[in-house]
């Protein structure tokens, strides 16, 4: 059985919900799945003043060396000015030793994200995550057009060929839609199936 890690950072819970959906999809693809989050690096006063969601059942990632235990790693983070937030970037900045050993070369990777608006930098944020995975030598699986839910304009929804996504609205009131969650499940399943072909 292949092992998949869903690694995320979530300020308000939108990415946490997407992470759960990605994990559901990966399990449907036959993988053993762990969900981990990266540490909060914002000062406590900022976390409280901004109303960040701090209650979660997902444990922290044990450290960068834990990445080598997985056949696939799917990374989720919201956008900050069109790129991944500092919390997720800080974690990847600790993976130099993993990179030196080539511990992730040939493994499967993917990304998912959330923005406040339809044009809030989803694709550039996904690329900022994917760039790290490519530098580690990983093979990237996005949200291919086999998932037809990302097509059409009759309703507001996320979804890009680079990865699953959702929109939170400026005040965070919009939760991931059924289409958004289905896209996350689809991508998780495709990544698990790809990892199984490579490592099963």
Find the DSSP H helices in the chain: 14-28, 44-50, 86-92, 96-101, 122-135, 178-199
Residue 27 has pLDDT above 80, yes or no: yes
Residue 99 annotated as lining a ligand binding site: yes
Q: What is the pLDDT of residue 152?
A: 86
Range of the domain at 96: 3-199
**Structure tokens of 106?**
């040939």
Q: What is the pLDDT of residue 136?
A: 98
pLDDT tens figures, 2-17: 999 999 999 999 999 9
Residue 119 has pLDDT above 90, yes or no: no
pLDDT band at 76 (very low <50, low <70, confident <90, very high): very high
Known binding residue 56? Answer is no
Contact 112, 165 (CB under 8 A): yes
Residue indicated by tokens 């959702």: 166
Q: Which two tokens stand for residue 178?
A: 């059924």
Q: What is the pTM of this model?
A: 0.97
* Coil vs helix vs strand at 18: helix
Give long-range contacts, CB 8 A cutoff, 24+ apart: 126-132. Answer: 126/160, 126/162, 126/163, 126/165, 127/162, 128/82, 128/83, 128/84, 129/75, 129/77, 129/84, 129/88, 129/163, 130/162, 130/163, 132/75, 132/92, 132/95
Distance in angstroms (rounded) separating the CA atoms of residues 158 and 6: 19
What pLDDT is recorded for position 200?
Answer: 76
Q: What is the mean pLDDT of residues 88-113?
A: 98
Q: Does 145 carry a binding-site annotation?
A: no
Q: Is 80 annotated as a binding residue?
A: yes
Mean pLDDT of 117-138: 96
81 is in an annotated binding site: yes
CATH of the domain at 97: 3.40.50.360
Cβ-Cβ contacts under 8 Å for 141 (sequence gap 6 or more): 108, 109, 110, 187, 190, 191, 194
User: Contact 6/106 with Cβ under 8 angstroms?
Assistant: no
Q: Consult the annotation and say whether 119 binds a ligand.
A: no
Residues in the chain: 200
If you average pLDDT over residues 162-173, what whole number do you get?
94
pLDDT band at 155 (very low <50, low <70, confident <90, very high): confident
Which pLDDT score is estimated for 131? 98
Say if residue 36 carries a ligand binding annotation. Answer: no
What is the tally of structural domains in the chain?
Answer: 1
- In tens, the pLDDT along 31-49 reads 999 999 999 999 999 999 9
pLDDT higher than 80, residue 169: yes
């Amino acid at each position: 059985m292949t092992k998949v890690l869903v690694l995320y950072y979530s300020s308000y819970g939108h990415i946490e919900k997407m992470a759960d959906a990605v994990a559901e999809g990966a399990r449907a693809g036959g993988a053993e799945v762990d969900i981990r989050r990266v540490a909060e690096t914002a000062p406590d006063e900022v976390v409280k003043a901004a109303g960040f969601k701090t209650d979660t059942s997902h444990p922290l990632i044990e450290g960068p060396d834990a990445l080598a235990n997985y056949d696939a790693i799917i990374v989720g983070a919201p956008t900050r000015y069109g790129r991944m937030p500092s919390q997720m970037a800080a974690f990847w900045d600790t993976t130099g030793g993993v990179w030196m050993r080539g511990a992730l070369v040939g493994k499967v990777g993917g990304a998912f994200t959330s923005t406040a608006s339809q044009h809030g930098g989803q694709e550039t944020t996904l690329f900022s995550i994917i760039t790290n995975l490519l530098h580690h030598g990983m093979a990237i699986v996005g949200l291919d057009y086999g998932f037809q839910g990302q097509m059409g304009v009759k309703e507001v929804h996320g979804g890009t060929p680079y990865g699953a996504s959702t929109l939170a609205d400026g005040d965070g009131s919009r939760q991931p839609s059924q289409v958004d969650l289905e896209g996350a499940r689809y991508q998780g399943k495709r990544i698990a199936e790809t990892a199984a072909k490579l490592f099963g």
